[in-house]
Amino acid sequence: MTVVREPIWDDAPRSKFASVVRRSLTLLSSLGWSARILLSTIAAFPSVIVRRTSRAEFVHQLYVTGIRTLPVLAVVSLFMGMILALQVGLELRRFNQEAFLGSAVMISLMREMAPFSCALCLASCVGSAIAAELGTMKVNDEIAALEIMSISPVRFLSAPRILALVVMSPILGFFCCVIGVMGGGLVGETQLGVDFAQYMVSAMGIVDLKDLYVGLLKSFIFGLVIGTVAVTQGFGATHGATGVGKATQRSVIINFLLILMFGYMVTRICYR
């Protein structure tokens, strides 16, 4: 698959209508190009495991995606659980229902907050790095050099990165949930007078396998979205360092918006 492409439009629009039409066509073209890259990347997943060079790159991307982001995810998840427990606990105290603190925190984290916060961190830390790295390679003609040597940029660059995000996102989402629940229990024990053992019994008693599956599904989808957007924006970077910066910025913005939209859609489908 050829990644290098020229800008579609060369002349400026002459009217408002022409500008709207042009932007609409550009959006449709970008969506189609992103879908093409995603399908080509999915088709290249088996080669990532079979080929030694691709497998080595895949393992490196697992380390970059998983291990390097653990400190940030741990801090974010801990304080997210603490804030959630404090806010919910203060309201429950008004009705003498502090015993249900663990249930409220666990449901909120497992269904929504843990996958959501994990995805935002991955989009900021990993997705932006992928877009910047591939964008720099694009403007420096390194991707064009790969194509000249008959090496598929999608198989060599895109597939290991997206596959690593798809594999690690559910694991990291579950990790965020665990750390968040621990943080909520810490606040309950020290500030709300809720015994930690009682808190954990309440948390584990309310959780259902469906909640776990939905949370993992969201993390899986978020990982696929983050990787696809980052790779697409990186491959589409133009105009030197300025273009790389804009591609990185667009990657983060688009990922944030898509995470919100897909999170709502999955919740609506699974809990209607």
98-120 pLDDT, tens digit each:
888 888 999 999 988 999 999 99
Residue 104 buriedness (CB in 10 A; 0-12 / 13-18 / 19+): buried
Q: What pLDDT is recorded for position 222?
A: 95
Q: What pLDDT is recorded for position 266?
A: 93
Crossing angle of helices 114-122 and 209-235, in 10° steps, is: 20
Residue (of 129, 213, 232) closest to 173 by Cα position: 213
Q: What pLDDT is recorded for position 9?
A: 47
Q: What pLDDT is recorded for position 144?
A: 87
Angle 60-66-71 (CA atoms, 0-180°, nearest 5)? 125
Report residue 3: phi and psi, to 5°.
-95, -35
Q: What pLDDT is recorded for position 229?
A: 93
- pLDDT tens digit sequence for 14-46: 677 777 777 777 778 778 888 888 888 888 888
Angle 179-207-219 (CA atoms, 0-180°, nearest 5)? 55
Low-confidence ranges of the chain (pLDDT < 70): 1-14
Q: What pLDDT is recorded for position 47?
A: 87
pTM listed for this prediction: 0.88
**Any idea how long the chain is?**
272
d(CA 263, CA 87): 23
d(CA 199, CA 181): 9
Q: What pLDDT is recorded for position 205?
A: 84
Integer-rounded Cα Rg, in Å, for the chain is: 22
Tokens (6 digits) for 55: 């497998």
